[in-house]
Every structure is written in structure tokens, then in C-alpha cells.
Amino acid sequence: MADKLSGIIGHQEVIRTLKNALQRNRVAHAYLFMGPPGIGKQTVARAYAGALLCQQPQAGDACGGCRSCRQMAGGNHPDFYRLAPGGSTLKIEQIRELQGRVQYKPYQSQRQVFVVEQAEAMTPEAANCFLKTLEEPAGQAVFILLSDRPYALLPTVLSRCQQLQFRPLSNREVAAGLVSLGGLDSQRAAQLAPLAGGSMSRALRLAGEGDRWPLRTKVLELVQQLAQINQSGALALAEQLAEDRNQAADFLEILSWWWRDILVYRYTGQPNKLVNQDRLADIEEQSRRYDPRVIAAILEAIQQARRRIQANANTRLTLEVLMLKIHSYGGNLNGSNSSWSSL
């Protein structure tokens, strides 16, 4: 059975909006689902597509049992189309193929639904070509654009879409999902939930990997050795991480969680406020070693690196600068060297 809107954990405000639109026959021509990667945009888009194509929708949701719902579940609905980047970009040839499909009437449903993943990856030529489709809408076509970086889209594309913001799930929602979808007991789910960063897909991946999340292990090994790591080692790590842009983003997120935990524990001493609750002993030890000003400087450097990578700066260069900064901080654990303030 295709996923139904009613079965999705979290994003209830967005889901209510989508259900109401279908119930009141006020479905928009184009939607933009915005939010961090792995947060559920694709899941909601597919469920909404199922509801839009369902032959017997119920309360703004798919019935789950009709021919269309069975086809969506099987991944072979003739009126559902998914467009994803071919490599790092969505090319104009892909958009022209989409335009060709829009010209045809739906094969069996009242609508055609086109889900465009990573919409910000459209080349300038592809974006302008797609804009023409939005400016001259076919009555039976519904477009659902998914984007982690909506600011990279053309303003004219943004203006023609109903924009829906997806926010990270709460730890409670993630834990509930791990119990219902991942089969975890409530105690283990509560332990893993903070590590997911509000992403259900990441939480389920962690549940499958248990304590063997390789990247997290690498990051935590790094922070234990900051005082010993040399400049060559810092540059080598940056080069390795830069090979995979998505891994680089995850690395920075894990790193920021760690330093955030050290700062939080330094001031509160409360384990239940930590993301890395399973590493309490290390956090407690490092919270005594590091001056809060050094921790704040490291966190700011990490955030600057995240912003630069999101803005398509050179990943390797950005990570090299960051790792050299952290290396310099690592040798001044008590903040006695004033050089940290100028970095």
C-alpha cells in the first residue's frame, strides 16, 4: 500500500493544508516543499501524489485500496512522474521531456503529478525552461518541487508555487517513529532520537546501524585527539571528507552537535539536554577542559563552514580552513592564548 498522509509522523500542519486543499478542490498548480535534507519532504510528496491520483479519496487522503493506490504502491502509476538530477544538475533536456509529458492528457486519473527532486539543481537554462511550464499551466498537471535550498531557485519560480516549510521533527516524534516503523523499544528509541537531528530517515538509518555509525565514530575519535592532531592530519581529513559533499554536510552537523553538547553541559550539568547522551563521560570530561570562549569560537567556525558549503563554496577549501582552525583551538584548551579570538 502506498504511504498515506494520515500515516506520516510529524509535519501535521503541512499535511492538514494538503488534505484541506484536496477536500475543497483547491489543489494548487505547483507546490514547493522546503526544508533540510532527509526531513520527510519526499515522503509527504509521494503520499500527497497518491491522494491526488486516488480514485476514491477519503477526507483528503488516499483510500489505500483502489487501482491507483495499488499502482502507487507498486511504483508503476502511469500518471505519476519523478524527476531527479542526472548527476549534479537537472538539465534542460530533462525539463523538455517533462514539458512533452505535460502536453498529454492523464492516462487514467484526473491529474498528472510531477515530483521534481532537488529543484534548486536546475541549470539556469532548465530553470527558465521550467518557468514557461509554470506560466502556462496545463489544468490537469500538479507539480511538487522539493528543495533543501529554496533561495537558489529563481524568484519567478518561487512566486508561482505554494510554499510549504518542513521543519525538523521533535525528539518525541522521532522516537515514536522509531518504535512504530523501526520496531525499537521505547528506551532505545529515546536514546537514538536526539542523534537524528529531526530527520526520520536518518533515525531509521541509525536504528539499522545501531552504534556503528561510521562517520559519527570518526568525528568523535577526532574530537578526542584535537590536542595531538597535526596540521597535515587536519588537511588530510578535510580532503577525505570533501570527496562527498553530503558526507561533508553530515560531518559538520555531527561536529556542531558535539561542541554544542559540551557547552550545554558546561553550563547546565543536565544529561537529558544533550544530543550525544550515550557519550556523557567524554562530554563531562571535555566540558571541564575547554574554555567556553574556545567552544563558542569553534561553533561559530563550524556554522560559517556550513553556510559556505550551502552557498556552493569550494567544499575542500572550506573544510581545510575549518580543520586548521580547530587544530589551532585544540592546542589552546584553556583559552590562555589570545590568538583564538582573531580566527
Ordered DSSP codes for 28-83: -SEEEEE-STTSSHHHHHHHHHHHHH-SS-BTTB--SSSHHHHHHHHT--TTEEEE
In a domain, 43, yes or no: yes
Question: How many structural domains is the chain composed of?
Answer: 2
Contact yes or no for 229/238 (Cβ under 8 A): no
Helices (H), 225-291: 231-242, 245-268, 280-289
Specify the 3-state DSSP secondary structure of 169.
coil
- Same domain membership, residue 229 and residue 105: no
For residues 235 and 301, state if they share a domain.
yes
Residue 93 within any structural domain of the chain = yes
Q: Is the pLDDT of residue 336 over 60?
A: no
pLDDT for the residue numbered 337: 41
Q: d(Cα 104, Cα 141) in Å, to the nearest integer? A: 10
Indicate the DSSP class of residue 108. Answer: S
What integer pLDDT is reported at residue 244 of this predicted model?
A: 74
Task: Point out the least confidently predicted range of 112-121, 185-194, 215-224, 281-290.
Answer: 215-224
Query: How many Å is the maximal CA-CA distance in the chain?
Result: 72
Percent of the chain with pLDDT over 70: 92
Supply 74's cell numbers.
Answer: 507498486
Looking at the fold, whether 14 and 118 belong to one and the same domain comes out as yes
SS (H, E, C) 172-221: HHHHHHHHHCCCCCHHHHHHHHHHHCCCHHHHHHHHHHCCCCHHHHHHHH
With 0-12 / 13-18 / 19 or more C-beta atoms within 10 angstroms meaning exposed / middle / buried, residue 342 is: exposed
Quick check: 212 pLDDT over 80? no
Q: Is the residue at 175 inside a domain? A: no
Q: Both 227 and 284 in a single domain? A: yes
Higher per-residue confidence, 195 vs 209: 195
Q: For residue 45, which of 57, 35, 55 has the smallest C-alpha distance? A: 35
Q: What is the mean pLDDT of residues 104-120?
A: 93
Residue 49 has pLDDT above 90, yes or no: yes
Type of residue found at 155:
P
C-alpha cell of 246? 553530503
170 occurs within a structural domain: no
Q: Do both 46 and 117 map to the same domain?
A: yes
Question: How far apart are alpha carbons 125 and 103 in whole angstroms?
Answer: 20
* pLDDT band with cut points at 50, 70 and 90 for residue 1: very low
Q: Which residues sit opposite 143 in a β-bridge?
A: 30, 114
Do 17 and 134 share a domain, yes or no?
A: yes
In which element (H, E) is residue 20 found?
A: helix 12-23
Q: How far, CA to CA in Å, does 310 sit from each of 38, 145, 249, 318, 328? A: 15, 19, 9, 11, 25
The CATH number of residue 234's host domain is 1.20.272.10
Q: pLDDT over 90 for what percent of the chain?
A: 45
Mean of per-residue pLDDT scores for the chain: 85
Nearby residues of 218 by Cβ (< 8 Å), 6 or more positions away:
none
Q: Distance (Å, rounded) from C-alpha 1 to C-alpha 100?
A: 30
306 to each of 10, 254, 257, 296, 318, how far by Cα in Å? 26, 12, 13, 15, 9
42 and 109 both lie in a single domain: yes
Whether residue 149 is contained in a domain is answered as yes
Q: What range does the domain containing 93 cover?
A: 5-165
- Quick: pLDDT tens for 169-206: 998 999 998 998 888 888 888 888 888 888 888 888 87
Instruction: Check whether residue 123 and residue 271 sit in a common domain.
Output: no
What stretches of 136-181 show up as alpha helix (H) in DSSP? Answer: 155-159, 171-180
Which CATH number fits the domain that encloses residue 132? 3.40.50.300
Residue 265 lies in a domain: yes
Q: Which pLDDT score, from 0 to 100, does residue 4 have? A: 92
pLDDT at 183: 85
Kindly report each contact of residues 320-324 with a partner whose C-beta sits within 8 Å and lies 24 or more positions away, as own/partner.
320/234, 320/235, 320/238, 320/239, 322/238, 322/252, 323/234, 323/235, 323/237, 323/238, 324/231, 324/234, 324/235
156-176 exposure pattern, b = at least 16 Cβ within 10 A, e = fewer: ebeebbbebebebbebebbbb
Tell me: do 226 and 83 sit in the same domain. Answer: no
Domain-terminating residue out of 165, 194, 220: 165
Q: Are residues 110 and 30 in the same domain?
A: yes
Question: Of the candidates 137, 165, 193, which is a domain's last residue?
Answer: 165
Task: List, for residues 290-333, the tens digit of each pLDDT value.
Answer: 888 888 998 999 999 988 887 778 888 998 888 888 877 754 44
For residue 24, pLDDT over 60 is answered with yes
Nearest to residue 49, comparing CAs of 127, 121, 116? 116
159 assigned to some structural domain: yes
Which has the higher per-residue pLDDT, 236 or 147?
147
- Nearest CA to 154 out of 182, 172, 128 is that of 128
Domain membership of residue 146 (yes or no) is yes
Q: Are residues 86 and 27 in the same domain?
A: yes
Do 128 and 217 lie in one domain? The reply is no
